[in-house]
């Protein structure tokens, strides 16, 4: 081979190598490349990464990094980019990862994407989906067909509309965690069939206090027994409200309030009548009840 051909081949090879380096190197500027090499040799800790990329405070990032199983910032980047591409604002993204630290390791292709798509298929708007997940990120840990969708459908039927479903779920993030088989279905059956509560009244109770329907069945049965002992009629329009009040007030506190009223001249009949007409007074503390009774007795006469 002639020397000129060899020289030309060497020049072309050199040019090809130079072009490849120019277009595909991480940086064409020596200082920037050196800085990048320096950064790669000292990878960010997960906490540092969460502060820089997810916008968490140092305290939040420290907590999330300790609670999460995620150790790969690359996987977390995939989740972050997916959420942003779906319209989640950074404030919502921060809320999600603080509430559910393992969110940063979710599988986008096989978990997040199909589950978000299922919300769309149900007719939820993108803003609704974002609001629900931001308030209840753990909902995406459940099985789509056996858990998530059935829960949404049951609660929507109880609340009466999609609008109320979104509104209530945002405020009561626990309601989507209650087991349908262990809590919701047994309680609904007991209220409707055993107690004879109408569908409308059950729905009203669910709207105002989802936790009442989501409590353990044995706890609901105890409340009913307490109401029976206190003489509250099951057919009373305020019966479910009375059960809810009893759910928030222990037997000891009820007894303390009964004793206070008896000391002021009430009879057991008076106490039972008050329970039937206005069970809300049981939610008052003993001191509040004493002050109100003093006002009515001393001031009003």
| pLDDT, one tens digit for every residue, the chain (301 residues) | 544 444 444 444 444 444 443 333 333 334 444 444 444 556 789 999 999 999 999 999 999 988 888 788 999 999 999 999 999 999 999 999 999 999 998 999 998 999 898 888 888 888 888 988 988 888 887 888 888 889 999 999 999 998 899 889 888 878 888 999 999 999 999 999 999 999 999 999 999 999 999 999 999 999 999 999 998 999 899 999 999 999 999 999 999 999 999 998 999 999 989 988 999 999 999 999 998 887 776 665 5
Cβ-proximal residues to 262 (8 Å cutoff; 6+ apart), any chain: 268, 271
Distance in angstroms (rounded) separating the CA atoms of residues 79 and 106 = 7
Residues 6+ apart with CB under 8 A from 53: 73, 76, 77, 80
Q: What pLDDT does 71 receive? A: 80
pLDDT score, position 41: 52
Instruction: Please provide the DSSP assignment of 246-279 as one string.
Output: HHHS-HHHHHHHHHHHHHTT--HHHHHHHHHH-G
Closest C-alpha to 133, from 83, 78, 70, 74: 83
Q: What is the pLDDT of residue 70?
A: 75
User: What is the model's pTM?
Assistant: 0.71
Nearest Cα residue to 107 out of 135, 132, 136, 144 = 144
Picking from 85, 135, 75, 146, the residue whose alpha carbon sits closest to that of residue 113 is 85
DSSP 89: -
């Amino acid at each position: 081979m002639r020397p000129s051909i060899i020289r030309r081949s060497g020049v072309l090879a050199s040019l090809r190598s130079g072009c490849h380096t120019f277009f595909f190197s991480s940086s064409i500027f020596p200082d920037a490349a050196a800085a990048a090499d320096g950064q790669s040799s000292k990878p960010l800790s997960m906490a540092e990464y969460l502060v820089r990329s997810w916008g968490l405070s140092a305290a939040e990032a420290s907590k999330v990094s300790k609670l999460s199983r995620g150790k790969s910032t690359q996987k977390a980047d995939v989740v972050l980019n997916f959420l942003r591409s779906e319209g989640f604002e950074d404030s919502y993204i921060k809320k999600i990862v603080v509430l559910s630290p393992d969110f940063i390791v979710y599988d986008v292709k096989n978990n997040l994407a199909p589950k978000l798509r299922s919300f769309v298929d149900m007719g939820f708007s993108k803003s609704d989906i974002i609001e629900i997940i931001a308030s209840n990120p753990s909902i995406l840990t459940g099985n789509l067909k056996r858990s998530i969708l059935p829960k949404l459908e049951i609660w929507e039927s109880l609340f009466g509309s999609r609008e109320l479903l979104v509104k209530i779920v945002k405020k009561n993030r626990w309601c989507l965690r209650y087991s349908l088989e262990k809590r919701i279905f047994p309680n609904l059956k007991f209220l409707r069939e055993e107690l004879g509560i109408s569908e409308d009244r059950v729905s009203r109770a669910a709207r105002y206090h989802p936790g009442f329907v989501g409590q353990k069945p044995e706890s609901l049965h105890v409340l009913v027994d307490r109401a029976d002992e206190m003489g509250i009629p099951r057919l009373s329009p305020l019966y479910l409200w009375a059960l809810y009040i009893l759910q928030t007030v222990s037997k000891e506190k009820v007894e303390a309030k009964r004793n206070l009223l008896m000391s002021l001249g009430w009879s057991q009949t008076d106490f039972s009548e008050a329970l039937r007409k206005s069970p809300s007074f049981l939610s008052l503390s003993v001191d509040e009840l004493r002050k109100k009774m003093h006002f009515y007795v001393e001031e009003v006469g």
